[in-house]
Amino acid sequence: MKHLLTITLFAAMAVCCGSSKSTEQASQGSVTTISVEEFAKIIGKKNVRLIDVRTPKEYAEGHLASAENIDVKAADFTERIKDVKGKVAVYCRSGKRSLMAAKQLSAKGCTVYNLDGGIMAWQKTGKPVVK
CATH of residue 54: 3.40.250.10
Residue 26's pLDDT is what? 41
Decide if 78 is inside a domain. Answer: yes
pLDDT in tens, 25-72: 444 689 999 999 999 999 999 999 999 999 999 999 999 999 999 999
Which is more confidently placed, 117 or 14?
117
Residue-number span of the structural domain to which 26 is assigned: 20-124
Decide if 2 is inside a domain. Answer: no
State yes or no: is 110 an active-site residue: no
Residue 61's pLDDT is what? 97
Decide if 130 is inside a domain. Answer: no
Cβ count within 10 A of residue 40: 16
Question: Number of C-alpha atoms within 13 angstroms, CB side, residue 111?
Answer: 7
Selecting among 16, 17, 92, 110, the annotated active-site residue is: 92
Sheet containing 30-34, strands listed edge to edge, beginning at the edge strand earlier in sequence: 22-25, 30-34, 111-115, 87-91, 48-52, 68-69
Per-residue confidence at 24, pLDDT binned at 50, 70, 90?
Answer: low
Decide if 10 is inside a domain. Answer: no
Does the CA dihedral 29-33-37-43 come out positive or negative? Answer: positive
Q: Is 2 a residue whose pLDDT tops 70? A: no
For the chain, the domain total comes to 1
Decide if 131 is inside a domain. Answer: no
Q: Is 16 a residue whose pLDDT tops 90? A: no
pLDDT in tens, 78-91: 999 999 999 999 99
> Nearest 5°: phi and psi at 13?
-65, -40
Decide if 129 is inside a domain. Answer: no
Report pTM. Answer: 0.80
| Residues 32 and 112: beta-carbon distance below 8 Å | yes
